[in-house]
Amino acid sequence: ETGVTQTPRHLVMGMTNKKSLKCEQHLGHNAMYWYKQSAKKPLELMFVYNFKEQTENNSVPSRFSPECPNSSHLFLHLHTLQPEDSALYLCASSQPGTDEETQYFGPGTRLLVL
């Protein structure tokens, strides 16, 4: 699990809390992604950053705020979440310009909103 790391691995927060998820990739990639994974549903792409620029925001509520300070780090800032936001949040990275654009994933952060 050294290619893409995520912290924390587990997070419990109340609806009024503010927290941040962190992702770091050690693969030299220039694209990073946030996904939401809920039980028995396909992965939902939330945000895409390409060379530190946000290129995709799939109608994600504003209570989720991404930040990409450089190509190796990606954050997801959380505030005033709802219980339905409880899920596994996965970070991934890939290298633009390669044909297959294979995405490599972190272990995820299991989020529970009370």
- Footprint of other proteins (CB under 8 A): 1, 31, 33, 40-43, 45, 48, 50, 55-56, 88, 90, 92, 94, 96, 99-108, 110
**Shortest distance, CB of residue 2 to other proteins, whole angstroms?**
11
Which residue's CB is nearer to other proteins, number 79 or number 104?
104
In one-letter notation, the amino acid at residue 111 is L
Cβ-based nearer residue to other proteins, 10 or 62? 10
19: which 2 tokens? Answer: 């927290």
Query: Shortest Cβ distance from residue 48 to other proteins (Å)?
Result: 6
Helix, strand, coil: what percent of the chain each, to 5?
Answer: 5, 55, 40
Integer Cα distance of 98 and 76 in angstroms? 26
Rank residues 15 and 101 by Cβ distance to other proteins and give the closer one: 101
Is 25 within 8 Å of 4 (Cβ atoms)? yes
